[in-house]
Chains A and B, each alone.
Chain A
Amino acid sequence: AQKITQTQPGMFVQEKEAVTLDCTYDTSDPSYGLFWYKQPSSGEMIFLIYQGSYDQQNATEGRYSLNFQKARKSANLVISASQLGDSAMYFCAMKRYGNNRLAFGKGNQVVVIP
């Protein structure tokens, strides 16, 4: 079974600063995909970024980048130049190739302060 661990307590970050959200995962499968989603207070899960287990380079998507360390089984999300609208819960998730279900962590709460 896949397990995703997000253990950071709620984080406060100053506007315009960068923040790193930790995610570690546990799987014996060599082929998998890692996803980060944002869930603001409105409740919708918004896809942010994807990293494949065979990707040689770290994924980037605008202000979002993924620090992928395969040997350590970690996939930390970096949000650069934080904005007030970044305040939300952030979920790390994983899916094995050929499988359909996403396994989610418990999430990291981020509050951006002006």
Chain B
Amino acid sequence: GAGVSQTPSNKVTEKGKYVELRCDPISGHTALYWYRQSLGQGPEFLIYFQGTGAADDSGLPNDRFFAVRPEGSVSTLKIQRTERGDSAVYLCASSLRLAGGSDTQYFGPGTRLTVL
């Protein structure tokens, strides 16, 4: 079946602009995650959705970052007043949200955001 898809694959914007990044999870996966990966680093957690609600948004760096998942499927990560430090690859993942520790997150190809 289809994996996690993300659009756009690349986004170049100017400092101060607003951007939206989209994630379409694997069909049937109720859990959705956003991570940010800076150059030379591992991904860092941003936010987790269970269904339509943000169950854990403690990784969002500040109030310029916001994410929604209105129908429990597709999610949009929104960044206001972008800064050069926001430049990174934004990864989306989804999972079945199994109990215990074996719930595997499957990642999309990422959106590379460049803020000039």
Q: Which residues of A contact B (CB under 8 A)?
A: 4, 31-33, 35, 37, 42-47, 50, 52-53, 91, 93, 95-97, 100-107
Contact = CB atoms under 8 A, between A and B. Distances in A.
Interface in B39-66: 40-45, 48, 50, 55-56, 59
A50 B104 contact: yes
Contacts of A35: 104-105
A106 B42 contact: yes
A101 B59 contact: yes
B110 to A, nearest CB: 5
Given A4-B42, A45-B43, A33 B102 contact: yes
- Residue of A43, A95, A106 ringed by the most chain B CB atoms within 10 A: A43
Given A91-B42, A105-B42, A96 B33 contact: no
B21 interface: no
A44 B105 contact: no
B109 A42 contact: yes
B22 interface: no
B56 A37 contact: no
A4 B93 CA distance: 20
A15 to B, nearest CB: 26
B112 A43 contact: yes
Given A32-B101, A95-B101, A105-B42, A100 B107 contact: no
A101 B104 contact: no
Interface string B16-43: 0000000000000001010100001111
Contacts of B41: 106-107
Given A43-B89, A52-B102, A95-B103, 4 more contacts: A33-B103, A97-B100, A103-B45, A104-B43
A9 to B, nearest CB: 13
Nearest to A42: B109
A33 B101 contact: yes
Interface in B66-112: 89, 91, 93, 100-110, 112
Contact of B101 (A53, A101, A104): A53
A73 B112 CA distance: 34
Contacts of A32: 101
